[in-house]
């Protein structure tokens, strides 16, 4: 017997390739671990991800951060709109805004993000270039809970990919993105099924505390 799907709101700023992966993997009410995307919100009106959502019949909304005097007032409007959909989870999929402490606390334990590095290494931006410049042999992507510390919340799941000798930024980014589209729906499904939680001392899956790197998958 299935239960109602977990409702999520996805925040984007651009192309929305991870959003598309989440749409493709969404199974609504079909299983107890299913999730339903209730809305997609972007801070940029020209974000291609909005077209992806519209094509899938998902409600969309644009909240232009440039129309607000500061981060706090933007986040307050964002919270108001998100709360109107009463989601159980907020998913950041290429949302290029640093969220305020008020926002993070409001949705504590209910916000996931995906970051293109093997956290805690290479927080912030331009991760692919930095990894290549540092001569790293491995790179990857991390799904983590969002806390007030930038890219510092408990890690849930990572995919590790090789860094090849002739890699360019774009080639490496494409290799990482391929795995982003695999692990993000997986982590969201874990949360939707009630298997994944954030507690005071980290991320927990199936009643067991995950290590600092979460679960690691080694992929090509």
Residue 62: the pLDDT is 98
What's the whole-number average pLDDT of the chain? 93
pLDDT in tens, 140-174: 999 999 999 989 999 999 999 999 999 999 999 99
How far, in Å, CA of 123 to CA of 144, rounded?
A: 12
Judge contact between 212 and 120, C-beta under 8 A: yes
The reply to whether domains 1-107 and 114-220 share a CATH topology is yes
Provide the sign of the torsion angle of the four alpha carbons 142, 190, 9, 172, taken in this order.
Answer: positive
pLDDT in tens, 54-70: 999 999 999 999 999 99
Q: CATH homologous superfamily for 1-107?
A: Formyl transferase, N-terminal domain (3.40.50.170)
Indicate the class that CATH gives domain 114-220: alpha beta
Could you tell me the residue ranges of all domains in the chain? Answer: 1-107, 114-220
Query: 188 pLDDT band (50/70/90 cuts)?
Result: very high
Judge contact between 91 and 191, C-beta under 8 A: no
How far, in Å, CA of 146 to CA of 105, rounded?
A: 10
Q: Which residues are catalytic?
A: 115
How far is CA 202 from its chain centroid? 17
Summary count for the chain: helices (H), strands (E): 6, 11
Residue range 195-215: mean pLDDT, rounded: 94
HSE (CB half, 13 Å, CA atoms) of 219? 19
Which has the closest alpha carbon to 113: 156, 51, 69?
156
Beta bridge partners of 63: none
HSE (CB half, 13 Å, CA atoms) of 199? 11
Q: What percent of the chain stands above pLDDT 90? A: 90
Provide CB contacts within 8 A for 70, sequence distance 6+.
Answer: none
Q: Is the peptide bond before 98 cis (omega within 30 degrees of 0)?
A: no
Provide CB contacts within 8 A for 204, sequence distance 6+.
Answer: 196, 197, 198, 210
Radius of gyration from C-alpha coordinates of the chain: 17
Judge contact between 151 and 119, C-beta under 8 A: yes
How far, in Å, CA of 154 to CA of 143, rounded?
A: 9
């Amino acid at each position: 017997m299935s239960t109602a799907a977990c409702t999520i709101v996805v925040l984007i700023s651009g192309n929305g390739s991870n959003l598309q992966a989440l749409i493709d993997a969404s199974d609504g009410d079909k299983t107890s671990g299913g999730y339903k995307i209730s809305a997609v919100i972007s801070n940029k009106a020209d974000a291609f991800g909005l077209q992806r959502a519209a094509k899938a019949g998902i409600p969309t909304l644009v909240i232009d951060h440039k129309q607000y005097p500061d981060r706090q007032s933007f986040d307050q409007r964002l919270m108001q709109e998100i709360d109107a959909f009463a989601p159980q989870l907020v998913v950041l999929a290429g949302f290029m805004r640093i969220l305020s402490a008020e926002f993070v606390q409001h949705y504590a334990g209910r916000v996931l993000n995906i970051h293109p590095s093997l956290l805690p290494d290479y927080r912030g931006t331009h991760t692919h270039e930095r990894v290549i410049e540092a001569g790293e042999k491995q790179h990857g992507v991390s799904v983590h809970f969002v806390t007030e510390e930038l890219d510092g919340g408990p890690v849930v799941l990572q995919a590790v990919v090789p860094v090849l000798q002739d890699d360019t930024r774009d080639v490496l980014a494409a290799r990482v993105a391929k795995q982003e589209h695999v692990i993000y729906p997986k982590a969201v499904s874990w949360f939707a099924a009630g298997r994944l939680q954030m507690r005071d001392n980290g991320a927990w899956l199936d009643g067991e505390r995950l290590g600092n790197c979460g679960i690691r998958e080694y992929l090509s």
